[in-house]
Copies of this chain bind each other. A is one copy, B any other.
C-alpha cells in the first residue's frame, strides 16, 4: 500500500494578526511545519499549534527562518553562516519547548521562505541549517527541495533527508518547478491537483508542462493553507489520496 506525507506551514499568526486556519489544516496534514517566532509565530501561537498538532498525532517540525517579521522571512538575508546556525538552533530549542510540553517533540526541520530557497542556491547557508539540526538532535530529519545542497549535507551528516513535491505546481521536464512568474505555474483545479498528488504518491511521477512524464521522488507533498480556498484544495488532495488507497501518514525517520 502506497503512503505519502502531507506537510503544511502552520503557526504563522503573530500577536493580534491571524494567518491561515491552523486547526483546519491540522485535520488534513500528517506533518506540521510550525513557525518559530522569527518570521511569524508568537510564543502563545506556538503553544496552541503544538498542542493542536499533538492532539491529532500530527508530527511537529520546526519551520525555521531568517529573523524577519516585517518581511515574513521572504527576503534573502546575507547572514554569516555561523550566525545563521545559531539563529536556527535558537528557534529549534524554543519550538521544542512547546512541543515537549504538548507531549511530543520537534522531529524535523524545514526552512521557510527565502531561507528555503537559499538552501538550494547557497550551500553555506544550507550547511548552517543542517549543522544546527544535527547539533540539537542528530535523529531529526530535514525536509527540503529534492537534490538540494540542504538534503545533501543532511545525508552527509548521517541525518534523514526528506524530499518534498508540490501537487499544485507545474514541473518542467528537468524536474524543476515552473517559476510563479510564468503562466500555468500554479494549478488551481482541485481534481487535477488531487490527481497529481495521487500520481506523485503511487507512481512517483508527474506530467511536466511539455507533456513528458518525469520521475519525482518525494516522501512528502507540501500543501498550503493560508487562504480559505487553499484549505479546500488541501482537503481535496487528502480525499483524492484516500480514495486511491494512499495512506496519508508522516514520513518515517
Interface residues of A (CB under 8 A from B): 13-19, 37, 40, 42-44, 46-47, 67-72, 75-80, 82-83, 86-87, 89-98, 100-101, 114, 135-136
Contact = CB atoms under 8 A, between A and B. Distances in A.
A101 B15 contact: no
B70 A67 contact: yes
A124 B154 CA distance: 36
A90 B92 CA distance: 10
A68 B19 CA distance: 19
A74 to B, nearest CB: 8
Contact of A43 (B16, B87, B95): B87
Contacts of A69: 14-15, 69
Given A42-B70, A75-B78, 4 more contacts: A16-B72, A71-B83, A76-B77, A92-B97
Number of copies: 4
A125 B83 CA distance: 25
Nearest to A40: B16
A47 B37 CA distance: 19
Candidate in A87, A91, A97, A135 with the most chain B CB atoms within 10 angstroms: A97
Contact of A70 (B15, B46, B72, B78): B15
